[in-house]
Amino acid sequence: MSDFKTLVRSAWDAAWNHGDCDALDAIVHADYELENAGLGRTSGLADLKNQVLEMRLAIPDLRTTVDKIVVDGDDFALFWSATGTFMNAFGDVPPTRRVLQSQGAVQGTLREGRIIRERVAWDPTVDMLSDLGTPGLGSAFGRSTGASGSTALEMPSIEDLKEFNRKFVTGVTVVTTQDSAGRPRGLAVSAYMPISLDPPLVAVCVQNSSSTYPSLFESEHLGINIIANTQRLVVDTFASKSDDKFAGLDWHAGPEGSPLIRGSAASIEAEIKERFRAKTHVLIVAQVTYLEVSNVDPMVYKAARFYDGGSLIEI
């Protein structure tokens, strides 16, 4: 069996660390099956090779190590670890440039000295992205169930939800960051939420169709500007798809380089801590590192209209 272990180590190294996926042909049986326990999906060797190539594209400096192989009759278990930097998009997830530190195990069966079936619990589309700081809010997208846990609930219509949201009054923020070329980027966001004061955590929610979205994955920091009652045009600019929203705008860089817009009611710079992928949106949780508050009143946003936050009637 030491031959098998040597062959596996060498094929693994060739495929994962050098991109020579055909080296895997030497260790698998013609009827090879790959069972992904996490996703409840079974596929074959072609799928495994694709996975390896996709991961190597996303993580060009990927280094994986076989830490241990245990063989017991026709059963085996392989324990591995991996490191690397998330530099290129993986599927529709933009790179975070975070360093991967992952470990996993594969359980399998041999026939005629070759691997006929492998069972993995680790899935790159779930676990790797989670290890890279972009976990998905997976449970939020399963089937809804009633209190008994059995009956499917009818979903409210999008129109009803919009009606509900129109009753919620918010301010308007402009969320900013720098892209990989160091250019300022930003968009208007009403989905801002303070989370806690100690630690000073805030959250914003951004749609993945936004052109600012990839930069928010690459960047370690972001700016959040609470728009003032005098900045109506600034909102229009940052709600647009304009190429250079910062042209003619009075702004300065925060200590970590995030664009802070002068004349805002208040601005913060924050270090991005988590990015939760939520299908069409990403929920970004960040820790405030710098703050500016002016004496200008904020703008108020209610049911798609803007109001002067300085002339509200107290009740």
Ligand X SMILES: Cc1cc2nc3c(=O)[nH]c(=O)nc-3n(C[C@H](O)[C@H](O)[C@H](O)COP(=O)(O)O)c2cc1C
Binding site for ligand X (CB under 6 A): 172, 187-191, 205-207, 210-212, 235, 238-241, 301
CB of 215 to ligand X, least distance (A): 9
Separation in Å, CA 119 to CA 6, 56, 67, 216: 20, 21, 17, 35
CB of 304 to ligand X, least distance (A): 8
Convert 226-256 to b/e letters by CB count within 10 Å (16 or more is b).
Answer: bbbbebeebbebbeeeeeebbeebebeebeb
Q: What is the largest CA-CA distance in the chain?
A: 81
287's tokens: 């820790």
In whole angstroms, how large is the CA radius of gyration of the chain? 25
Q: Please give the Cα distance from 249 to 246 (Å, whole number).
A: 5
- The three-class DSSP label of residue 128 is helix
Q: Please give the Cα distance from 305 to 34 (Å, whole number).
A: 54
Convert 18-40 to b/e letters by CB count within 10 Å (16 or more is b).
Answer: eeebebbeebbbeebbbbbeeee
By beta-carbon proximity to ligand X, the closer residue of 42 and 211 is: 211
User: Residue with CB nearest ligand X?
Assistant: 191
By beta-carbon proximity to ligand X, the closer residue of 96 and 212 is: 212
CB of 207 to ligand X, least distance (A): 4
CB of 262 to ligand X, least distance (A): 20
By beta-carbon proximity to ligand X, the closer residue of 145 and 240 is: 240
CB of 185 to ligand X, least distance (A): 7
Within 10 Å of residue 277's Cβ, how many Cβ atoms? 19
By beta-carbon proximity to ligand X, the closer residue of 77 and 201 is: 201
By beta-carbon proximity to ligand X, the closer residue of 27 and 189 is: 189
By beta-carbon proximity to ligand X, the closer residue of 147 and 304 is: 304
DSSP code of residue 153: P
CB of 187 to ligand X, least distance (A): 4
DSSP code of residue 121: -
CB of 259 to ligand X, least distance (A): 13
By beta-carbon proximity to ligand X, the closer residue of 68 and 302 is: 302
